[in-house]
A = this chain, B = another copy of it.
Amino acid sequence: MKDIQNQSDNRKIDIKKVGVKTITYPVTVLDKAQSSQKTIATINMYVNLPHHFKGTHMSRFIEILNRFHGKIDIMNFRAILEEMKMKLDAEAAHLEMAFPFFLKRADETAVLKLSKYECAMHCFLQEDDDLRLDIAVPIAHPFICNGVEIPGAAFGLWGKVLVSVRFSRFMWLEDLIDIVESIIRNEGHLDGDRSFTDKPVESLLEKLETRFKELSELKWYSITVENISQGYALFATTGSSAPLSGTPYYC
């Protein structure tokens, strides 16, 4: 097959992104207690294609991924992105990975409890680089018995908090989860002056934003609160439109 990869293209068609998506792949993520944790990610890799090339060696995306097999962690994101830019002669490179993150905790009854959180990382490299972290924190109703909360019990799933952040300096994922969950707990009482259709979604969002504004580790955030109901979900979203103060940061 004749190599038509390097012939210049006069049609100047603006191909913005070229890549591979939904690759299931084992990765390693940082873990405060165990230093690292192995999990399985769904990965997207793509580049902003330059105009003077006629075709992309798409096989190279998988080749790069496989070359980093066993070393796919936050410490190597920049190296992966740089290899993508170089090998594909690209102006910019994108790496996205979604994965379940497991948090090991001893619950009230001192029994080990393993909680799962759906996370995603979006890494970008052009001249500057960028890292966005998304995390979903489920909300289960506390069980109230005669006004007293029974630990470890719940009344089904109320909904979830979806948080997207950009860091100005390092922060453990576990600490971010703890902050969100402590606010959820304080909001979680089933007192009588709100119905599922009104305040709670917004009032929980307010409490979360008030706290997030104080976090110096963050230079940007977006928060969504979802309350699932019978057949649909109520939601409210807010965020810092412009990146908050703080020096740019990348792992």
Contacts and interface: CB of A to CB of B under 8 A. Distances in A.
Query: For chain A, which range describes its interface: under 10, 10 to 19, 20 to 34, or 35 or more residues?
Result: 35 or more
Given A23-B232, A229-B154, A196 B143 contact: yes
Interface string A207-240: 0011000000000000000111111111111110
A206 interface: yes
A209 B13 contact: yes
Interface stretch (A112-120, A121-129, A167-175, A243-251): A112-120
Contacts of A198: 5, 55-59
Nearest to A21: B233
A77 interface: no
B23 A231 contact: yes
Interface string A48-84: 0100001111110011001101000000000000000
A17 interface: yes
Interface of A: 1-2, 4-5, 11, 13-26, 38-40, 46, 49, 54-59, 62-63, 66-67, 69, 100, 102, 104, 111-116, 138-141, 143-146, 150, 152-159, 190, 192-199, 201-203, 205-206, 209-210, 226-239, 241
| The 8 nearest A-B residue pairs measured at CB | A156-B158, A145-B192, A59-B197, A153-B195, A23-B232, A140-B230, A66-B112, A17-B237
